[in-house]
Every structure is written in C-alpha cells, then in structure tokens.
Structure 1
Amino acid sequence: MTLKKTLTWAAGVFIVWFVAFRPDSAAKVVQGIGTMIGQVGTGFGDFFTRVIG
C-alpha cells in the first residue's frame, strides 16, 4: 500500500470518527468552510465587478 493510499484511508477514518463522536464540532467545521467559500465567492464577484465596471 502506498503512502498516499494510507493517508487517504486514515483521513477517511478520521472524518467518520469525527462526525460520529463529535457531531457538534463537525457541524461547526462544515459551517465555517461554507462561510469561507461564500466569502471567497463574494470577493471574486466584487473583484470582477470592479474590473469590468
């Protein structure tokens, strides 16, 4: 088994464990990631609006 495959499996197991045993924390992490993606999208939108307009 390669290192990449081992790390992928370890990350998957950790995510399952995190969601199963710490659902509140997992929800906060996902919410934070969603907020960050929204802010990045808004920033790109503002940038292109200013470049075009």
Structure 2
Amino acid sequence: MPVFVKKVLAWGSLAFLIYFMAFRPEGAAQMFKAIGAALMMMAQGLGDFLTSLMT
C-alpha cells in the first residue's frame, strides 16, 4: 500500500476516533472497555498456556 494511502487512513482513523469520543463519549467508553476486556482475555489465555507448558 502506498505511503500516501496509509497516511490518509491513519489521519482519517484518528479524526473518527476524536469525533466519536467528542459526540458519543458513552459509546466510546463502552468500546474501549470491550477492547480492554478482549485484550485481558487474550493475555490470560496466553498466561494459562505458558503455565501449562511449564507444569
């Protein structure tokens, strides 16, 4: 993908994120909570996997 397209997509994503947080803060908070919960579940699964390898 050309560098210009990547820059446009990155700035567009940032603009959407700022707009979303400014005009729908409750929805943005719920989205970030869901993303955080998913990341925690993945980290817990990885930890469980590594623990089971060691035992």
TM-score by length of 1: 0.93
- Which residue of the partner structure matches residue 33 of structure 2? 31
Q: After TM superposition, what 4+ stretches of structure 1 lie above 2 angstroms from structure 2?
A: none
Task: Report the 3-state secondary structure (helix = DSSP H, G, I; strand = E; otherwise coil) of the residue aligned with 1:2.
Answer: helix
Count of aligned pairs:
53
Q: What is the RMSD of the two structures over their aligned residues, measured on CA atoms?
A: 1.2
Structure 1: give runs of 5+ residues left out of the alignment.
Answer: none
Q: Deviations over 1:1-53 (max 9, x none)?
A: 81111111111110000000000000000000110111011101110111111
Percent of residue pairs bearing the same amino acid type: 36
TM-score by length of 2: 0.90
Amino acid at match of 1:28: Q
